Amino acid sequence: MSRVNTGQQQKRFLSIHEYLSMELLQKQGIKTPRGGVAKTGAEAYAVAKKLGTEDMVIKAQVLAGGRGKGTFDSGLKGGVRTIFSPREAQMFAEKMLGHKLVTKQTGAGGKICNSVYICERQYVRREYYFAVLMDRKSQGPVMVASSQGGVDIESVAAENPEAILQLPIDIEKGVDRTAVRDLAERMGFTPKCVDQATNTMVKLYDLFIEKDATMVEINPMAESADHEVICMDAKINFDDNAEFRQHEVYSLRDVTQEDPRE
């Protein structure tokens, strides 16, 4: 691929909410921040209390980019907010749940927020970008990575293309761990984290294959102060043609987030 494009190649695909993507990562043995989903203000209070920390983030579960800069029809600005107590979790949840969030990707009508994801806030040393997606040119999977995580990767690709690293995968031979380790080193992971980053990226590729995904995107993948590799956010899309094989995944579909015209 000459340019990074995380827009989907298939005509139709399934997207699932962030909290569900994080659950799939956890089942794969991949480290993520501790968190939980809530569908009422009372549930949000309970989730925050169970986390047992005064430093948390609450995220509106809406299938659209730009949540952090979006605005709810309740007047609340920002679909991603820092919170410091169970009471704040409940307050923000009640201003998000049942309301439409308008972002740069939703159009003027916005999308309804039926759940919120509350997780511990992490203070990390470095943030990276990592994805596995289908390369339109080779019709095979490719790992795409960058030392510049936590930002819009397509902007990075346009402004600083040499910051984008790519590793095509031969789907018949599978992952070459040596090549993935080299990728982790080139991304800039510290020596203490290279092996852990390699294992995480291989597990993400395995998830991509096992679940018939068209994209597994982690932005950011982070290195914590105590040298742990953590997937801070996850976006996973799945091939609609594989629905007959992936009943469990397709049971996670949220039709309230879909445009009936598509």
Q: How many CA atoms lie within 13 A of 42 on its CB side?
A: 0
36's enclosing H/E stretch is strand 35-38
C-alpha closest to that of 132 among 165, 154, 159: 165
Angle ∠(222,194,35) on CA atoms, nearest 5: 30
Which tokens hold the place of 20? 């569900």
Q: Quick count: other Cβ atoms within 10 Å of Cβ 126?
A: 17
Q: CA 35 to CA 53: how far, in whole Å? A: 11
C-alpha closest to that of 229 among 178, 180, 162: 180
Q: CA 112 to CA 189: how far, in whole Å? A: 38
Active-site annotation holds for 217: yes
Active-site annotation holds for 223: no
- Find the catalytic residue in 18, 43, 217, 223: 217
C-alpha closest to that of 252 among 36, 17, 65, 26: 17
183's enclosing H/E stretch is helix 177-187
- Find the catalytic residue in 45, 117, 129, 205: 129
User: Partners of 222 in the beta sheet?
Assistant: 127, 230
The Cα-based distances of 139 to 135, 157, 193, 259 in angstroms read 5, 21, 31, 28
Q: CA 150 to CA 141: how far, in whole Å? A: 23
Task: Catalogue the active-site residues.
Answer: 129, 217
